[in-house]
Structures are given as structure tokens and as C-alpha cells.
Amino acid sequence: MTAGTGARGIPLDQLLEGIEGALAELPQVPPGARPPVLGVAILDPDDEFGDHHGELVLVIGVRGRESLPFLRAAARSGAVAVAVKPGPSGAVAELAEAATEAGVALLAVRPGVRWDQLGALLRERLEAAELHADVHPGLPPGLVAARVSDSPGEELFALAEATALITGGIVDIEDTGNRVLAYSRSDDAVDELRRLSILGWQGPETYMRMLREWGVLDRLRNGEHVVRVDARPELGIRARLAVGIRAGSRYLGTIWVQQRFSPAVLPFAERAEEALVGAARLAAAEILRRRTGAGPVSGGAQLVELLTGRANTDLVAGRLGLDPAAGALVVGFAGPVESDAPARALHRDQVRGVVSVYATAYHRSALVGALEDRVYAVLSGVPEDRVEPALPVWVRDAVDVARERTGLPWRAGIGSPVAGLAALPGARAEADRVLDALARAPGSAAVATISELRAEMLLGEVVDVLAGRPELRHPGVAALLEHDQRRGGELVTSLLAYLDALGDVRSAAASLHVHPNTLRHRLRRATAVSGMALDDPTERLSCHLQLVLVGRQTRSPSPGVFTAVPAATR
């Protein structure tokens, strides 16, 4: 019986992410193989064998050595992996040996795992991967598996992963019956509660009874606040954070965050509780969407329309439940340019997940989406006359986590509040200018508002004009560059330091680690070579702007060193 199929398939190890270790083990994988799985088949001993090419075959109804004939038969029928339960006698070694001989991967499923639940989870992941491959045909199979969070079946798993990263814990998302809907991967040893919850896809009744006695469940059901549950070492249970998932007065489930242990107990992140509130809001929206079968509730497509000015503002605001005339603000997030397009798309989606949790925790109606290679958060209903002090705090936290998750120096630019959703295209352009200014300034802060970078933005735009109008430049600057390149001199560096120091020779000399008289000699030489009248304020300003342009175009990895500008740019 075929349980699911994915025409393109995804690698076995990525299909089993979060499953291996908790629900099953992979004691045998063919050397050097990451076989793509095209589908899942559930095979009962009474079934006739068909063609199982490229499938993961779940052998049910038999255990241990009794499953050996079916393992070999599945391999002969083209299966890339076979899942069996080793049984109480512990036949893993014999099964692994048989799998090695047959050339298939062996998945040893834990005794307490229900085959229907495992099959449903695998089928859901394959269908999600297939759907995503149709939407993103250029992505290799590995990245399709990594990005299936865009599809209905995997959104909660992606949220669990993002929440785990932000809180520093291990995450389970459960419904009102304490059944596990999604969970994060864990490289650490999990405690007994998490292990039993995932194995049975439900919180153990003995522990749930204790939580009821302690009043924890009542507190989770009756408000949007985070509850701390102390560790119970005698029960093998570590400390937890928990928050109820609610839609208005309706209780939809719970997010649990277990404390990590690797090799000692690790504390939760500093603002884990704040982020957990945002995760609960996102989980509520996704659970409601899955129950009703409605489209995505994140407003990603509508957000793009608002940011680009293509939307009917009143219509989109009505769909999203926003006031079109309320104050709004845009925060943009950008990383470095990556030549690998699939990796760039993956990192953007990872950052979008992180930003969604933080932004929703700060502002319930926040909209988060991606446009080109940048991620944007739109906050509607904020004050029009100021940026609230708490806003840069969560933005910095989001950037820190984004950098940790991607390993890349992501930045964030905060625009000024605008009067209404119709002004969002201009607000986005302002956030983009802040991001561009941050990128131009080496060693700059990771987060900035437009008010903090207004001077840098003005300078950047003036220099950009100068870059596109070579006829406006004084030929003396090019002469200085050619002199330094030909003779190994430092006239350009010395002149720029002097102008940056507003003509203070001693300060400029100190920054260059030379004697003031040495700098004075270089300045006289620079004047002679360039023919520029540095005592003229206008010409001095012109020279300074051109040297700033030179520095941005030709700065080498070593601070203060310039190379000649190619003739085409002079």
C-alpha cells in the first residue's frame, strides 16, 4: 500500500530530520549514499510485492528476524530503505547485516511508535517537498526538503525550529489534547518527557496529571503569558517554559520549551519569554488555517503588494483587519550578496522565520514577508511621531539570531513612521536606504534608524551622483592615485586623513602614526601633484568627496590602503 509519493524525491537523511533519534535509528546506510526517497509504502506480510523503486518501505505486522524475508524482498523490488521494528530480542545487528548485503538503508523503528503516525508524517513531508519543488523548480532536492516550511504540513515544524533557536531550548507544539503537532530537532539528549511525548505523539498522562495538580494547565489556558515549570530530576524531567496558544478566548494548544543539556544544563535565552509569546501567536494562526483549510494568514503576498505600491490599500487592509489610515513603520533586514542563489533563498527564508517570531511578539498584527533578497516587517498602528524604544531592542535580538542561524552578517534598517498604509512604498525605500548606508560603512552597527544615519545617507547619495558623473571630478585626484601607485606613496591616504580631521595636522598625523612635519611635507607634495587649491573651501570639499568615492571603490582589506581607480571610472 503506497502511503505517499514525491516525483522528485528528497534525500533520506533530510526526510528523517527530527524523526531519527526520537522515533527511529539508522543503523545501516549504504556507504557514501544519500538515496533520494520518491515515496513511502506500507507493506503487510499478507500483501503481494509490487514495484517499490525509490521508496521507503515500512514493514508492518512482523518484528525482528521475522522481518528479514520482507527486508530482502523489498530490496529486490527497488526500495532504497526499509523500516522495521527490531523486536524485543534485539535483532538490529542481524537486520543491519542483511540490509548491507541487500544494498538498502535500514530504519530501526522504536517499539512504541505507531506505524500509522509514522507513515502519515513521512507522507506529509514528501507531499510538502513535492509541492515546494513545483513552486521552486530550480532548487536541488536537499534545499527543497529544507524549505518545505512554505507548505501547509510543515509550517509548524518550521516555527518549532525557529522558536528553538530563539529561546535556546527544545520545542514541542501540542494541541488541546496534548497531542504533539510539531517539534524541533535536537542534537542534545532529550529528557524522558520529551522522548515519551514524541514516541507516543502525546504528553504522558502521569506527567499531565501532575501539571494539572500544580495548576500549570489552568494558567496556560487562561491567558497569554509564559509559565515556568521547574525541573523534576527525580522524574528525569528538566525545566520548561510554556505558553498557551490562543485565538481570542479560544484555547488551541501549548508550546513547550525544554531546557537544553549539553553536557551541562544551558540557560534559556535572555528574552526567551517575550519571543515565546510571538511564537504562540503565529502557531494560533497556523492551527486555525489548518483547521479551516483557508489560505495563508501571514499576508505575505498582500505585504509585497503594499510595499511595492501595487495594492488597493483599503481592500488589502480590510482583508488583513488593519486600519489603512493608522500609522505604520517598515523594518528591513538584509544580508550580504551571495552568488549561490539557492543558498541565498534558504537564508532569506530562515531569517523570515526568525523575524516573524520577534515581530509578532512585539506587535500582534505585524506582517512579515520577503521581497527579492530582503525581509521586511511592517507594523501597523504604531505612533506616527516616534520610534518606540522597545522596537530597536527586538530588532537587534532578531539580527543576532539571524546571524547565528545563517553564519552571515545580516543587518536591519528601521525607517520612520508614516501616516497610513498607502505610504508604505516610501517607508520601504527609506528602510532600504538605511540598509545601504550600513553596508557602505565598514564596521558599522548591525541595526540603525534613519535618524542615526541621516548624514551618512546624504553623503552616500552625493557620492553616488559623483560616481555616475565622471565629468564632475577634478583630474588632480586621479593624478594623486597614479603617483601613489607608481611610487608606492601615501599622498591619498594622508590627504584624506587631513580632510577627515578638519585640517587638524596633529590629529591627522596621530591617526597615521607619523610626525606632524612628515604629514605637512606630504600635504605640500599632494598639492603640487594634484594642482588642487586646498585653501579654497569649495575645492577642498570637492576633493574630500572624491577621495571618499575612491575609498569606497578601491579600499583594500588593509585599512587605509588604496589602489588606483581603473581608467574607466576616472
Predicted confidence (pLDDT) per residue in 127-154, tens digit: 666 654 544 444 444 333 333 333 434 6
What are the CB-based long-range contacts (under 8 Å, 24+) for 494-500?
Answer: 494/519, 494/522, 494/523, 494/526, 495/522, 495/523, 495/526, 495/543, 495/547, 496/544, 496/547, 496/548, 496/551, 497/560, 498/523, 499/540, 499/543, 499/544, 499/547
Q: Which amino acid is at 456?
A: E
pLDDT for the residue 219: 87
pLDDT for the residue 554: 57
C-alpha cell at 360: 509578532
Side by side, the strands of the sheet bearing 250-259 are 180-183, 169-175, 250-259, 240-247, 226-229
Could you give the CA distance from residue 20 to residue 8 in angstroms, rounded to a whole number? 22
pLDDT for the residue 260: 84
Rounded (10°) CA dihedral 390, 394, 395, 399 = 150
- For 402-430, letters b (16+ CB in 10 Å) and e give bbebbeeebbbbbbbbbebbbbbbebbeb
- Residue reference for cell 524482498: 73
pLDDT for the residue 544: 80
In this predicted structure, the answer to whether residue 325 has a pLDDT above a threshold of 80 is: yes
Rounded (10°) CA dihedral 207, 210, 212, 215 = -130
pLDDT for the residue 249: 77
Could you give the CA distance from residue 433 to residue 18 in angstroms, rounded to a whole number? 40
pLDDT for the residue 126: 76
Cα radius of gyration rounded to whole Å, the chain: 30
Q: Which amino acid is at 134?
A: D
Beta-carbon contacts of 13 under 8 Å, excluding residues fewer than 6 positions away, are 20, 26, 29, 34
In this predicted structure, the answer to whether residue 376 has a pLDDT above a threshold of 90 is: yes
Question: Residues 543-558: what's their mean pLDDT?
Answer: 65
C-alpha cell at 520: 605637512
Q: What is the pTM of this model?
A: 0.59
Angle among Cα 489, 509, 456 to the nearest 5 degrees reads 90
Least confident of 57-71, 433-447, 498-512, 542-556: 542-556
**155, 286 Cβ separation under 8 angstroms:** yes
- Residue reference for cell 525482528: 64
pLDDT for the residue 195: 63
| Cross-strand bridge partners of residue 232 | 237
pLDDT for the residue 276: 93
| Cross-strand bridge partners of residue 389 | none
Residue-range domains of the chain with CATH: 2-138 (3.40.1390.20), 149-292 (3.30.450.40), 300-453 (3.30.70.270), 469-569 (no CATH)
In this predicted structure, the answer to whether residue 567 has a pLDDT above a threshold of 50 is: no
pLDDT for the residue 120: 76
Angle among Cα 259, 265, 268 to the nearest 5 degrees reads 45
Question: Residues 543-567: what's their mean pLDDT?
Answer: 55
**361, 395 Cβ separation under 8 angstroms:** no
**562, 550 Cβ separation under 8 angstroms:** yes
| Residue 299 backbone class (left: φ over 0; alpha: ψ -120 to 50; beta: rest) | left
Sign of the torsion angle spanned by Cα atoms 338, 339, 343, 346: positive
pLDDT for the residue 505: 85
**52, 64 Cβ separation under 8 angstroms:** no
Could you give the CA distance from residue 425 to residue 497 in angstroms, rounded to a whole number? 39
**Of 71 and 261, the one with more pLDDT:** 71
Q: Is 534 buried (19+), middle (13-18) or exposed (0-12) by CB count in 10 A?
A: middle
**510, 501 Cβ separation under 8 angstroms:** no
